Homo-oligomer: A and B are copies of this chain.
Amino acid sequence: MSVSPLPAKVARPPAPVASIASTAKSAQKGQQTKAAIVDAALGLATHIGLQGLSIGALAEVMHMSKSGVFAHFGSREELQISVVREYHARFEEEVFFPALRRPRGLPRLQAMFQHWMHRTSVEIDSGCIYISGAVEFDDRPGPVRDALADSVQLWLAAMGRAVVQARDAGHLRPAIDEHQVVFEIHGLILALHYEARFLKTPGSITRANTAFAGILARYGSPAAAAAPAAKKPLV
């Protein structure tokens, strides 16, 4: 949103106009700086964990003073929460929104899994704050833990809705429990991350895809099994 200049007929000294314009410009610059700090913080957090993040380390990376970084967040906790929100926004952008362009039912559910798999494959090298954060904050109650857990829950709930839609569309069996299906899919992603990143076991991506196909085969309706959508090979 741009700030309109004041009309000429209003008799005001020029100073406030310049001041409003410069305030707007400085606010915009402030937001850009904050976004750049959050971006750097997210990069750091995926490697060293959210708990490893400190205003000091970030100031060093950003070539800023500690007080300069601090001014944008007010606390280390607020910085951590901003990182969780940024991660959430990127996850939605990469994993969720593209899947919404696919038709409801099995095609959308498959797309959600494929995008999630793709993101997890990339994170085999970098780390994932939904996974490292769960270990760091599983016994640290507070707003950072809440932000993380809410973010993961939102995604799992979206997955659950996609399963319900697939069931309602007749692509999955009528009796299935969406929480059960999502639990099993979540397990595949966690096993992929653990075995590929920590144990460096080759073939983990193929195993996760095979297991997902197995889940669909188990919960798929016999009618859908004969339809082309369910036969589509998984990436």
Contact = CB atoms under 8 A, between A and B. Distances in A.
Interface residues of A, number: 38
Contacts of A149: 198-199
Given A49-B135, A131-B135, A187 B211 contact: yes
Interface stretch (A19-27, A178-186, A220-228): A178-186
Interface stretch (A9-17, A98-106, A166-174, A202-210): A202-210
B47 A139 contact: yes
B183 A195 contact: yes
A194 interface: yes
Nearest to A211: B184
A218 B186 CA distance: 19
Given A47-B139, A188-B187, A204-B183, A134 B211 contact: no
Interface of A is mostly: helix
A191 B199 contact: no
A142 to B, nearest CB: 13
Given A134-B197, A180-B210, 12 more contacts: A49-B135, A131-B194, A134-B194, A152-B199, A156-B199, A179-B207, A183-B204, A184-B207, A184-B214, A187-B211, A190-B190, A217-B218
Interface of A: 47, 49, 127, 131-132, 134-139, 149, 152-153, 156, 179-180, 183-184, 186-188, 190-191, 194-195, 197-199, 203-204, 207-208, 210-211, 214, 217-218
